[in-house]
Amino acid sequence: MFTLRAAVMWTVNDFPAYAMVSGWSTKGYMACPVCKEDVTSGWYTGKVCYLGHRRWLPWDHEWLEKDKEFDGNTERRLTPREWSGDEILEQLNHLDFAPFGKTVSRTRPSTHLNWTHKPMFFELPYWSKLKLRHNLDVMHVEKNVFDTLVGTILDIEGKTKDTIKARLDLERMGIRRGLWMNRDSDKARGDLAFFSMKPNDKKEFLKFVSFVKFPDGFLYKYDARDGSLARRGIACWSCQLSLDVSNRKASRRAEKKCTQQGKARRINYRGLGSI
């Protein structure tokens, strides 16, 4: 006979579930559970967006002095303060939360910031001492990155982030002049962005992806030959493999093509007597 003991070391969840297990709401202008009230956010493209990611770069990084390439401002602020578990617990103990229930008003006073409730995990005596209490599930993060990346590069309607609202926001912020709306004619229009594929390039990309060999059980809905990628998308668990395998194969193909072009140029140069 022996006594079996178990301990909860951390949680693994997606970002919406982060609010339930941490007690910090992941919606609104203070949705970041790391920056908390020191978050940099604003209203762009009809939704709340979060900026200021350069604050985590080394103090001498060259990107800190760039403005037009980012949000139009140089970055000289320090990294947001990191709250310890004991400090969070002390703050939660001084707040009064409404009981759970559908008929209970959920209006929070300003002193609560984005706290919605005190998590039950803090009843564990060691929970406030943990350095890392919550983890984001990489699978869901990669799914969002994959959909955004492919949807924008292929200029898929409804999935691309290169929208009219985004172009107008860039113009309002005074950055990325090459992506502003074209107002030469009576009707403003947005030209195809430099990072989006043209129709012929899109067909070549889909043709290449359709012949990439994946292990059985992955990308079962991924038949790019008929353009189904633009219509149906793929499952969460397939995005990681798709990003990894496709990017490596595409990189090798691009490297091989560049090498062949380089050899051809060297041959031409030799013929001209340049080398």
pLDDT in tens, the chain (275 residues): 899 989 999 999 988 899 999 999 998 899 988 888 888 888 888 889 888 899 999 999 999 999 888 888 899 899 988 889 999 999 999 888 877 766 555 677 777 888 988 999 999 999 999 999 999 988 888 888 888 888 888 888 888 888 888 888 888 888 888 888 877 655 556 678 888 888 888 888 777 777 766 666 555 444 454 444 544 555 555 566 566 655 565 556 555 555 555 444 443 333 333 33
What is the model's pLDDT at position 268? 39
The whole-angstrom separation of Cα 263 and Cα 140 is 43
Q: Which of 93, 95, 94, 87 is nearest to 129 (CA)?
A: 87
Q: Which of 137, 100, 136, 144 is nearest to 118 (CA)?
A: 100
The whole-angstrom separation of Cα 149 and Cα 237 is 16
The whole-angstrom separation of Cα 19 and Cα 27 is 9
Q: Which contiguous run of DSSP H or E holds residue 11?
A: strand 11-13
Who's near 108: CB < 8 A, 6+ residues apart?
A: 115, 116
What is the model's pLDDT at position 74? 92
Residue pair 75/52 in contact by the 8 Å Cβ criterion: yes
The model scores a pTM over 0.85: no
What is the model's pLDDT at position 18? 92
What is the model's pLDDT at position 227? 46
What is the model's pLDDT at position 274? 32
What is the model's pLDDT at position 189? 61
Amino acid at 87: E
